[in-house]
Amino acid sequence: MLLPAIVLAVTTQGAQATSPTIPLLAEIPVILKKAEDALARGAQKEALTQLDSLGPEATYRVAFAPGSQSGGLAWARKIAVRSFLTWQTRLGQELRFEWVEKGPAEITLQFIGRTGILRSDQVGLTRWNRKPNETNPLPYRAEVLVAIVPKDAARVEHTILHEIGHALGLDHVEQPGMLMSSFNPTIPITEPTLAEVQAVREWREKARALRAKAIL
């Protein structure tokens, strides 16, 4: 089943310097506000439903999509595992990524070609579903698509790290040198900046506090 057309992508275009503010996906503060309002009305179950749609509290299950497990993609899978570990380490182990081979996963990573789904200037995208249904019972599921660029491991690594940032709630920035900006081959990005890590940490801390109130 295709996920809703809620898509964010990293492109190959150069970035322009702007404010260092790290924006969140627009829906995150909206969902947090809905959870707050539900708690104010005493609707704890409704609040938890809203918070669950933001993703797991502590552990994301991650899986490679079918077709991304061939022997020729071993180098890309190694980069992917390292990229998720980089985010986990930068967040201080407060969030874990658990790789699974079978069963449900909150994040699915698929390696694809540069035709069909992606525009010519795109190297990756993330799309997600925040509503469970009969075929997908998870309240949050992200699908990360990464274009395989031969002999360009740096671009693939930046793309995976960037798309994980989207899965964790970050929007694009236009400031060079930041992970959530467009790929620039002259500025290798191998980890999120402190500001980007802090932006993820702050909204997740707020969600954690609201969840604690909802389960009292």
- Say yes or no to pLDDT of 80 above 50: yes
97 backbone dihedrals φ, ψ, rounded to 5°: -115, 120
Tell me if 198 sits within 8 A of 21, measured CB to CB.
no
Tell me if 20 sits within 8 A of 194, measured CB to CB.
no
The arrangement of strands across the sheet holding 7-11 comes to: 7-11, 122-129, 141-147, 107-112, 59-64, 96-99
Q: Which domains does the chain have, with CATH numbers?
A: 17-25+58-199 (3.40.390.10)
Phi-psi region of 205 (alpha: psi -120 to 50; beta: other; left: phi over 0): alpha
Q: Lowest-confidence range among 45-49, 173-177, 209-213?
A: 173-177
Average confidence score pLDDT of the chain? 87
- Say yes or no to pLDDT of 77 above 80: yes
